[in-house]
Amino acid sequence: MPKDKKHRSTINYRLTLVDDDTHDQLWSKKFSKMNLAIYVITAVVVTLTLMWCLIALTPVKTLIPGYPDARTKHEAIQNAIRIDSLENVISKWELYSENLRRVVDGQPPLKIDSIMDARSKDKDISEKDLKEIAAKDSLLRKEVAAEDRFDITSGVPKALPIEGMHFFTPLKGVISQGYDKALHPFVDITAPDNSVVMAVLDGTVISAGWTDEEGYTIRIQHDGDIISVYKHNQKLMKKTGDKVTAGTPIAIVGGTGSTAQGDHLHFELWHKGEAVDPTKYISF
CATH of the domain at 268: 2.70.70.10
Report the distance separating Cα 63 and Cα 69, nearest Å. Answer: 9
**Regions of the chain short of the pLDDT cut 50:** 1, 6, 122, 147-159
Whether 187 is covered by a domain: the verdict is yes
Check: CB of residue 252 under 8 Å from CB of residue 234.
Answer: yes
Among 122, 150, 178, residue at a domain's last position:
150
DSSP tag of 239: -
Pairing type for strands 174-177 and 196-198 reads: unpaired
pLDDT at 220: 96
pLDDT at 163: 81
pLDDT at 9: 55
Domain that holds residue 200: 162-280
Whether 17 is covered by a domain: the verdict is yes
Instruction: Give the global pTM.
Output: 0.47
Q: Which of 274, 222, 225, 284 is nearest to 253 (CA)?
A: 284
Report the distance separating Cα 146 and Cα 223, nearest Å. Answer: 14
Whether 260 is covered by a domain: the verdict is yes
Do both 36 and 109 map to the same domain? no
Do both 48 and 119 map to the same domain? no
Check: CB of residue 200 under 8 Å from CB of residue 167.
Answer: yes
Looking at this protein, which amino acid is placed at residue 281?
Y
Whether 63 is covered by a domain: the verdict is no
pLDDT tens per residue, range 103-118: 777 777 766 555 555 5
The number of distinct structural domains making up the chain is 3
Whether 255 is covered by a domain: the verdict is yes
pLDDT at 110: 66
Check: CB of residue 30 under 8 Å from CB of residue 13.
Answer: yes
